Amino acid sequence: MGGLVDLGMKNLSILIFNILFLMFSCSEDSPQQDNACVDEGEDICGCMEIDAINYDPLATLDDGTCQYYTGELNVIWSKSYTEIGGEMWSIRPVSDGGFIMALGNAGDCVGYGCEYYGQLIRLDNHGDLMWQKMYENSTGIYSARETSDGGFIAAGYYECVTSASCYPDMFILKTDADGNEEWSSVDASNDNNNDWARDAIQTQDGNFVVTGTWNDDGWYSKAALRKYDTSGELMWAYNYSSSDANEAYELLETGDGDLVFAGYSGTQHGAYKHFMVKTNADGDQIWKKKAASVGDAILYAICESPNGGYVAAGFCNSWRSNFVIERNPNQGSGNWNSCIIGEMNVSGFYDITPAIGGGYYLIDERSYLTKLDDQGEVIFTHNVQDANLSVIELDNGDIVIGGSGAFLDGGYGGGANITRLSFSNSTPTAQ
């Protein structure tokens, strides 16, 4: 009997030891496995819950990142740079998790004695200021993107302020990682014409392509592509026009090295058509497509779709409705389009970004964040208040938005602000 008791006590001690071992091995001081799955072989990590907004139909391993829209978005942090003058035009991500912000019209103005400058603002991953630079040879910067050397390529315009007869010229800027100018170029079709650079990217060969507007005859504007080498020397320039007025906004490079941009083409307000052009790496046109809408239609932003097509966003119905279209990569034919008319979907999308797991996030002129599926159907629309220019999705599914009060076609930027939002990761409650 005593032996049995001793044996039972021994087994109990072993059990207690094992429990304590497991408890301590799972403490915060010990390495532990998180919810992220490890991609092995042909398995695909992602959210596998069909009710989640980031559901990935291709996923074979659930990584624990499912997100649910419950009617609310949580503010992680929000920053406003009211002490920095100027109109913000765009925010784009940087590889270290931070952001680059492009602004214009910074400075003081009295009559024709204005001192307006373009500027860049570098932010860390919390939206805190790392550096701010003004460029006195520019008036405004519409867009800036990180380059392979850690610097930035930027596009905008320069306009003299000494008289009423001054007209804008294209401005292109290359900086180092700290925003110091490495080279810049001011290019003009003629002295009294309107020329703008709207976007700039680094291409796979290490050089840079700029898109915008070129007005070499003094009246009819042309959508333009211009390529510069790493020293800022012009390599080639092409114009793509279909009517009296044309302008190119955002630009992308495909995996094959082709170039695609979106904008508008028309003869006058009331007849602007949404416009998309695809070229090869040398600027030779592959296809050019324009289509009418009810009233004016303009495309401001573009991205690639999961099937290799191109999805662009802007407005239709003369600023009264949001518009999005997907075009086929080969012929440029329209796969689908949606002129979204409704109380919460008005005034035009200003930015678009592909969503992790499929679909797209868009931000519109009235500060509504919209999630669309792959076919352009609305998943949800949420008022985010003071943000209408930029939308970014982070790797963890959080959303970064920025800029406020902008009216792109009228030429006015927005307030310099940025906000990070998150979704609820809990199971959605019954409605």
**Angle formed at CA 56 by CA 52 and CA 60, multiple of 5 degrees:** 120
CATH 3.30.1360.120 correct for 85-310+320-338: no
Q: What is the pLDDT of residues 50-77, one digit of tens each?
A: 888 888 888 899 888 888 898 889 999 9
Q: Would the pLDDT of 345 be above 70?
A: no
Q: What is the mean pLDDT of residues 9-23?
A: 46
Q: What is the pLDDT of residues 170-198, one digit of tens each?
A: 999 999 999 999 999 999 887 778 899 99
Among the residue ranges 145-149, 161-165, 326-330, the one predicted with the least confidence is 161-165
Per-residue model confidence (pLDDT) at position 83:
82
Report how far residue 322's alpha carbon sits from residue 344's, in angstroms, rounded to the nearest whole number.
10
Per-residue model confidence (pLDDT) at position 64:
84
Q: What is the pLDDT of residues 232-289, one digit of tens each?
A: 999 999 999 877 789 999 999 999 999 999 999 987 666 789 999 999 999 999 999 9
Q: What is the DSSP letter of 375?
A: T
The model's pTM is: 0.86
Reading the block at residue 314, the tokens are: 């802007």
Residues 6+ apart with CB under 8 A from 218: 190, 192, 193
Q: Would the pLDDT of 119 be above 80?
A: yes
For the chain, which residues make up each domain, given as ranges? 85-310+320-338
For 81, phi and psi rounded to 5 degrees?
Answer: -110, 60
Of the candidates 92, 217, 104, 101, the one whose C-alpha atom is nearest the C-alpha of residue 157 is: 104
Report how far residue 251's alpha carbon sits from residue 262's, in angstroms, rounded to the nearest whole number.
7
Of the candidates 47, 49, 23, the one whose C-alpha atom is nearest the C-alpha of residue 35 is: 47
3-state secondary structure of 15: helix
Per-residue model confidence (pLDDT) at position 203:
98
Average pLDDT value over all residues in the chain: 85
Residues 6+ apart with CB under 8 A from 142: 89, 90, 102, 104, 155, 156, 157, 196, 197, 198, 199
Check if the beta carbon of residue 77 is closer than 8 Å to that of residue 420. yes
Strand partners of residue 251: 261
Q: Would the pLDDT of 366 be above 70?
A: yes
